[in-house]
Amino acid sequence: MKDQPLAVVLLSGGMDSCVAAALTRSTHRLAFLHASYGQRTESRELKAFHDIADFYHVQHRLAITLGHLSAIGGSSLTDSSMPVPDADFGSRGIPTSYVPFRNANFLSAAVSWGEVLGASAICVGAVEEDSSGYPDCRAEFFDAFNHVIRTGTKSSGPQVVTPVAGMSKAEIVLRGRALGAPLQVTWSCYRRDDVACGTCDSCARRLRGFQLAGFDDPIPYVHKPVFAAQ
C-alpha cells in the first residue's frame, strides 16, 4: 500500500466522485479534497464528504472555501435570487446551474495540494455523456488542463484522471454497488439539504440512473419521479 502512488480525489460528496474514489483506491493511496463555494447545499455536501472519507479511512483530507465563486455569482447554485430549475433532459443549452469556470478553480487548488503532497493523479468524478452540457466537464477541457499542469508546475506535476467520464449514471450505480461504495451517505441534490428534492437536474439524473440500473436509491427523496427507460 505504501508504495502505491498518491491520488488527490476531488470529492464533492455526490455519487459520481464517490464511485471515482472507489475505482481509484485499488491503484492509489487517497487524499480527499472538498470545496465549498457558497452553493445552496454546502454544509450537507461537506457532511457527505466527511462520511465518505470516514468510510474509506482517508486521513489526508482538505476542505477548502472558494468564496469568490458565490461573490461572482452567475449561477443558480450560488445566487439565491435565481431559482434552481427542474431537470430538462431534452435541453441542449447550458443550464443556469453552470458555475462559471468552476472546475478550473477546483483543479487548480487540487494541483497546488497535489504538488506539495507529491501526488501523481488528480481524480475527478466528471461525467461527460450523461452530464448537463457544462463546458468544463468535457474531455477536451481536462486534456487542455493537463497541458497547463505540465507547463506550470515544478516537475511534471500530477495529471487529471476522470475514471467515470465515459459511464452513464446507470453504469456508475452498478459499478459503485459492485465495489461496495457508500452511496447511502452521498448527496447530490442541488436544492435541499434535508431530503433530496428528486426533481432538480442532479436528483433527476441520479434517480434515472438508479432506475435504469434496477436498484432503489438509498437516500430519502421528497418526490421520486419515474423515468422511462431510454
Q: How far is the CB of 24 from a copy of itself (least distance, A)?
A: 21
**Residue 99 corresponds to which cell in the numbers above?**
458555475
Nearer to a copy of itself, 12 or 199 (CB): 12
Nearer to a copy of itself, 69 or 212 (CB): 69
Residue 35 main-chain phi, psi, to 5 deg: -120, 125
Rg, Å, the chain Cα set: 17
Q: How far is the CB of 219 from a copy of itself (least distance, A)?
A: 29
From residue 11, alpha-carbon distances to 48, 89, 96 in Å are: 9, 25, 22
Residue found by looking up cell 499542469 in the block: 149
Nearer to a copy of itself, 101 or 227 (CB): 101
- Separation between Cα atoms, residue 19 and residue 56, nearest integer Å: 12
Nearer to a copy of itself, 133 or 218 (CB): 133
User: What does the binding site for a copy of itself look like in residue numbers (CB under 8 A)?
Assistant: 62, 64-69, 71-74, 94, 98-105, 107-109, 111-113, 115-116, 135-136, 138, 140-141, 144-145, 147-154, 157
- Separation between Cα atoms, residue 13 and residue 46, nearest integer Å: 7
Nearer to a copy of itself, 19 or 111 (CB): 111
Q: How far is the CB of 65 from a copy of itself (least distance, A)?
A: 7
Q: How far is the CB of 215 from a copy of itself (least distance, A)?
A: 33
Alpha helices by DSSP H, listed for 56-168, are 68-72, 102-117, 139-152
- Separation between Cα atoms, residue 123 and residue 100, nearest integer Å: 21
Q: How far is the CB of 99 from a copy of itself (least distance, A)?
A: 8
Nearer to a copy of itself, 5 or 135 (CB): 135
Q: How far is the CB of 69 from a copy of itself (least distance, A)?
A: 6
Could you tell me if 8 and 113 are in contact, meaning their C-beta atoms sit under 8 angstroms apart? yes
In DSSP terms, which residues pair with 121 in a beta bridge? 7, 159
